[in-house]
Structure 1
Amino acid sequence: MALTTTAAGAQECTPRIADEFLVEPGTLTMATSPTLPPMAYADMDGTLKGLRVELGIEIAKRLCLTPQYISTEYATMIPGLQGSRWDMVNAGLFVTEARRKILLMLPYESLAISISTVAGDTEVKSVDDLAGKTLSTDIGGYAEKKMKELNEDFAKRGLEPMKLNLFDNYATVYQALRAGQVEAAVSIDPVAKQYQDRGEFTQALSGLYATPGSLSFISPEVAEGVSVALKEMKADGTFDKMMAAYGVIEAPGDLSYLPLAE
């Protein structure tokens, strides 16, 4: 699903990234998954909202490009980027060694993993309390990787492993918890906090395995253009104000993109 949002003044200045480096001339095409309130989500009329959405719109505006969002699942984001379906993945992909070998990653947000349980549940007070429980999380993501590593640790210590039910996005991750199919849901801190603030679930554990989330690219020209725009936002206070509004901590670094790792 493609959603286009026109930034004010996008056609009133000279684009700062040449058309030859873009999927669509004059447009910054971004893949996102609008299933993670408050980071990225769609309201009742289908309008995209959230920190990542606002960030992409502001970046495009500063680059004199029209922002266009493609709503897709996480599993398709990297293949789509490699296949030139979009210019940038704007979904907070966690920075990992494996991804750095194939993607240009620009860390900008620091995110950690949360464990959500049904509202009022006080049984889960530490990661060891997850032993033997059934959990839901997103397939192929950082959370799945860390839960599998935790299972390996449980095995070494003689604890019963968790059963992991994997889903395409966090909306279905939480739907599984809502439906009683699992005993806990694994997501990221801002998402878990949003659900708790709405009174739907309890954020039983948070701040686990903190790691940078990124904007991701294939094209160095696009990556550099976005980096320059972010540094300008940082310099004039826009970036800090936007992050603070959503309670998201900035990742370590200077908003430069990371070169491919060997």
Structure 2
Amino acid sequence: MKYLTASTIALALTAGMATAQECPEDLPTIEPGKLTMSINATLPPRQYLDASGNLQGLHPDLGNEIAKRLCLEPVYQNVGFEVQIPGLASKRWDMVNTGMYYNPDRAKIMRMVPYVVNALAIVVERDNPLGVEGYADLAGQPVGTEISGFADNLIRTINDEQVADGMEPMDIQAFNTFGDAFAALGAGQVKAVFGPDATAAYLAERGAFEVGASGLNPGLPSSFGFDGETGEVLAEAVAQVLRDMVEDGTYDEMMSSYGATQIQHWADYTGDIAIYYTPE
């Protein structure tokens, strides 16, 4: 699949791929003519840097297409997940584009536009020496995940439930990125990583690790994020671009190329690309 870069988009715009008549007017972005997005490029195949240091994956592909249709140049800030939501409020970027999980609590503080469905997996060492097939097999074992994310919160909840049932506690180790967690797995620091299903399949195909269990907790959507107070206009513009992509087949083509589950399969899908924001 061909990946679009910021320079490619800029050249396309000047060549007339998008005309002024097609461009939304007066979009409130932090830098005129640009769409600045935060991303954490540590999670292939959704978002990562290739051997040449170029940003690749589903999330940047989506961001590039959205920027093109809004007649903006895509700009990425590759930062840790923990600063991405605060960065919206401090106007460091216009939107979060890092595969952030939707949940109702987050929708109280930011505008969220779900766009793809996820599941989680347990990734283990090659040949699965512990015979991991599910959560119970992680009892008493060191388990890695990404700090403060949905997977981190979920595995801690599952661990608490198993301990209450008399099982040994997991030694849960939260890393700054899933990339760090997988590096720890390769080094023997942890015996399993609890993280995204798509990344598990990607690594298993390349022989780096093995998938102990997959398809866990299915139906969780990833979302773009926008500032709650100032992001209404931009969130609606991006949601409309996604609707147009669904209508013209671009969305289906892009999701299929990555083996991603389309948002239409989310149990709470309303029949339309929607914006979720329920401030208290």
Report the TM-score range of the alignment, normalised by the length of the smaller protein: over 0.9
Q: Paired residue for 1:212?
A: 221
Pick from 144, 154, 161 the counterpart of residue 146 of structure 1.
154
Identical aligned residues as a percent: 37
2:142 to 134, 141, 144: 134
> Where does residue 54 of structure 1 map in the other structure?
61
- Contact 1:103–1:217 (8 Å) recurs in 2: yes
Q: How far off is 1:127 after superposition?
A: 1.4
Aligned CA distance change for structure 1 residues 203 and 17 (closer, same or farther; 3 Å): farther
- Where do residues 69-80 of structure 1 align in structure 2 (5 Å cutoff)? 69-80=76-87
Q: Structure 1 residue 256 and structure 2 residue 274: aligned?
A: yes
1:6 CA displacement:
4.2
Q: Kindly state the Cα deviation for residue 259 of structure 1 after the two structures are TM-superposed.
A: 2.3
Could you say which residue in structure 1 is the equivalent of 2:29? 22
- Deviation of 1:101 (Å): 0.8
Q: Judge conservation of contact 2:127–2:210 (CA < 8 Å) in 1.
A: yes
Q: Is the 8 A contact 1:137 1:164 kept in 2?
A: yes
Which string of whole-angstrom CA distances, capped at 9 and with x for unpartnered residues, describes residues 70-113 of structure 1? 10110110011111110110011111222111010011111111
> Shift in Å at residue 10 of structure 1?
3.0
| 1:108 correspondence with 2:126 | no
Residue identity matched to 2:143: L
TM-score, normalised to structure 2, is 0.89
Mapped contact 2:126–2:210 kept (Cα < 8 A):
yes
- Write the distance in 2 (CA, Å) between the matches of 1:191 and 1:145: 19
Question: Deviations along 1:16-53, whole A, 9 cap, x unmatched?
Answer: 2525x101101111111111110011111111110111
Distance 1:129 1:116 in 2: 12
> Which range moves more in the overlay, 248-257 or 219-228?
248-257
Describe the SS at the equivalent of 2:105: helix
SS at match of 1:206: strand
1:10 and 2:13 equivalent? yes
Distance 1:16 1:260 in 2: 26
Specify the SS of the correspondent of 1:185: strand
- Look up the equivalent residue of 2:123 and give its one-letter code: S
| Deviation of the 1:4 alpha carbon | 4.0
Cα RMSD for the two superposed structures: 1.4
Q: TM-score normalised to the size of structure 1? A: 0.95
CA distance in 2, matches of 1:174, 1:229: 34
Structure 2 match to 1:96: 103
1:107-146: CA deviation from partner (whole Å, max 9, x where unpaired): 1111111110001115101211111111010001000000
Which consecutive unaligned segments of at least 5 residues does structure 2 have?
Answer: none
Match of 1:247 in 2: 259
Give deviations 1:132-180, integer Å, cap 9, x for gaps.
1110100010000001110111122111111111111111010000000
Q: Which letter maps to 1:39? A: R
Amino acid at match of 1:145: N
Report the AA paired with residue 275 of structure 2.
Y
2:167 to 159, 162, 166: 159
SS in structure 1 opposite 2:132?
A: coil
Q: Are 1:120 and 2:127 matched, yes or no?
A: yes
Q: Secondary structure at the match of 1:10?
A: helix
Conservation of the 8 A alpha-carbon contact between 2:118 and 2:196: yes
Distance 1:261 1:140 in 2: 21
For the residue of structure 2 that corresponds to 1:97, the secondary structure is coil
SS in 2 for 1:160: coil
Q: How far apart are 1:261 and its partner, in Å?
A: 4.3
The structure-2 alpha-carbon separation of the partners of 1:65 and 1:209, relative to structure 1 and needing over 3 Å to count, comes to same
Runs of 5+ unmatched residues, structure 1: none
What letter matches 1:255 in structure 2? I
State the distance in 2 between where 1:223 and 1:9 align.
Answer: 24
Matched, 1:238 2:247: no
Distance 1:187 1:105 in 2: 21
